[in-house]
Chains A and B, each alone.
Chain A
């Protein structure tokens, strides 16, 4: 029984995954060309600012750690 259930799950899982991916792709790929462009622009700029903001936070943290270390010394 257990074996049969496992086999059933194994055969179902990949199918579910494929269906989900296909739906996601369809939603984006079916957008009008300029909407795709606007979405890419908005998300792209947001992504660039997000990543560079994380770099900024990292540097700030490193500066704080450095300042703490030097004051301890």
Chain B
């Protein structure tokens, strides 16, 4: 009898696999496997998808020791996501990687960074309608609907750290897994999602438009002043965006000041890589079957895709609108780079331009729109937090 009890205790994990929970665990293993496959075989943002996939496997092991009180994924979650530290550290690294020079040479591209946030707000509105219908449990809970709609909308910015920041600010711990997985997987699927949307909204002639670019680099003083002024403006007008804008611009200032080359390289490489590893595996750790295998996940994934598509469309349509009034036409594909997936989106746009005309070079304009998108998505995140908090009378 005792031996049986000991065996039962010893093989509790194996026994649990032949139950409903076991099937859920297997389903999560398959999902994690798909993420790892996409990372290794398809090379879609492997630095993110692989740790997320592996984290999901760890989190769904029977008994999930890694998620216990002292489990390392739980510790990492509390240390880096629950207090918004990882998104902020990531932004220091991203800031150190960004060269604002092309934008400083052609500042008109900055408006694409604003136009491409259209999808965030469109999705926010659609979510307000759909959430109570698809998830009847939320009906009547306006507070939850507004908070959830905000976090879902931000997925469209293709900006993982900002999405995490907003979701965390609104204390959506229960929804963190699908929201972050949607944000990061769509970010990595930019080469798959954006081209069909762009092609559907533009003609071949429009995609072949060439744009002039001034090769001259922006002055050093401008490059140093820009991050400082941007932080001040954003911090004064949208204080909620200050942590993200501040860290992004701090990283950029380290890069541009010219006297901190070692720190700049550390921020671009060691810091960004370390935090990416920890962030990825921690997000994967939130993908516990009972929180993930739900209708909410499907809704969040679907609305996240909608947001992403509408952000891309917003940028393209805005460029087409500007072309009605401009003598020197803009290639409308550049507008699609106004999302925040830097620098992938800009590369995708350049690739599309080359497909139509092998001698068309619009990479620098796309990069300008892309870095503007980075700024735009942070400001949009800050605006959403501020406004929704006001509508709720506090969070």
Residues of A within 8 A of B (CB): 25-26, 28-29, 31, 33-34, 36-41, 43-45, 47-56, 58-60, 62-63, 66, 69
Please indicate the chain B residues that have their CB under 8 angstroms from the CB of A59 in the complex. 103-104, 107, 110, 222, 226
Please indicate the chain A residues that have their CB under 8 angstroms from the CB of B111 in the complex. 49, 52-53, 56
Assembled-state Cα–Cα distance A29/B388 (Å): 10
Closest to B222 in A: A62
Dominant secondary structure at the B interface:
helix
Closest to B223 in A: A62
Please indicate the chain B residues that have their CB under 8 angstroms from the CB of A50 in the complex. 237
- Nearest CB of B to A71, in Å: 13
Contact (Cβ within 8 A) A51 B390: no
Contact (Cβ within 8 A) A62 B226: yes
Contact (Cβ within 8 A) B391 A44: no
Of the candidates B146, B384, B394, the one whose C-beta lies within 8 Å of that of A44 is: B384
CB contacts under 8 Å to A, within B37-93, are none
Q: Pick from A28, A41, A60 the residue with the most CB of B within 10 Å.
A: A41
Closest to B386 in A: A47
Closest to B120 in A: A44
Assembled-state Cα–Cα distance A58/B149 (Å): 33
Dominant secondary structure at the A interface:
helix
Please indicate the chain B residues that have their CB under 8 angstroms from the CB of A36 in the complex. 142, 146, 391
- Nearest CB of A to B282, in Å: 29
Q: Contacts A52-B110, A55-B230, A59-B226 known; A40 to B384 CB distance under 8 Å?
A: yes
Quick check: is B156 within 8 A (CB to CB) of the other chain? no
Please indicate the chain A residues that have their CB under 8 angstroms from the CB of B229 in the complex. 58
- Nearest CB of B to A55, in Å: 6
A selection of 16 A-B contacts at a CB cut-off of 8 Å is: A29-B391, A33-B128, A33-B145, A36-B142, A40-B124, A40-B387, A44-B120, A44-B387, A48-B117, A48-B376, A51-B238, A54-B233, A56-B111, A59-B222, A63-B104, A66-B219
Please indicate the chain B residues that have their CB under 8 angstroms from the CB of A52 in the complex. 110-111, 113-114, 372, 375-376, 379
Contact (Cβ within 8 A) A39 B110: no
Assembled-state Cα–Cα distance A47/B238 (Å): 8
Closest to B121 in A: A41
Quick check: is B118 within 8 A (CB to CB) of the other chain? yes
Please indicate the chain A residues that have their CB under 8 angstroms from the CB of B107 in the complex. 55-56, 59-60, 63
Contact (Cβ within 8 A) A58 B114: no
Closest 5 CB pairs of A and B: A59-B107, A41-B121, A25-B393, A29-B393, A47-B383
- Nearest CB of B to A44, in Å: 4
Please indicate the chain A residues that have their CB under 8 angstroms from the CB of B375 in the complex. 52, 55
- Nearest CB of B to A32, in Å: 9
Contact (Cβ within 8 A) A37 B124: yes
Further 12 A-B residue pairs, CB within 8 A, beyond A41-B122, A43-B387, A44-B121: A28-B390, A28-B391, A39-B391, A40-B391, A44-B387, A45-B114, A51-B233, A51-B234, A52-B113, A53-B111, A55-B230, A59-B107
Q: Contacts A33-B145, A52-B111 known; A45 to B104 CB distance under 8 Å?
A: no
Of the candidates A48, A53, A60, A69, the one whose C-beta lies within 8 Å of that of B383 is: A48
Of the candidates A28, A38, A58, the one whose C-beta lies within 8 Å of that of B125 is: A38
Of the candidates B103, B218, B226, B237, the one whose C-beta lies within 8 Å of that of A54 is: B237
Closest to B143 in A: A29
Assembled-state Cα–Cα distance A33/B146 (Å): 8
Assembled-state Cα–Cα distance A53/B230 (Å): 11
Binary A-proximity of B203-236 (CB < 8 A = 1, otherwise 0):
0000000000000001101100110011001100
Quick check: is B339 within 8 A (CB to CB) of the other chain? no
Quick check: is B108 within 8 A (CB to CB) of the other chain? yes
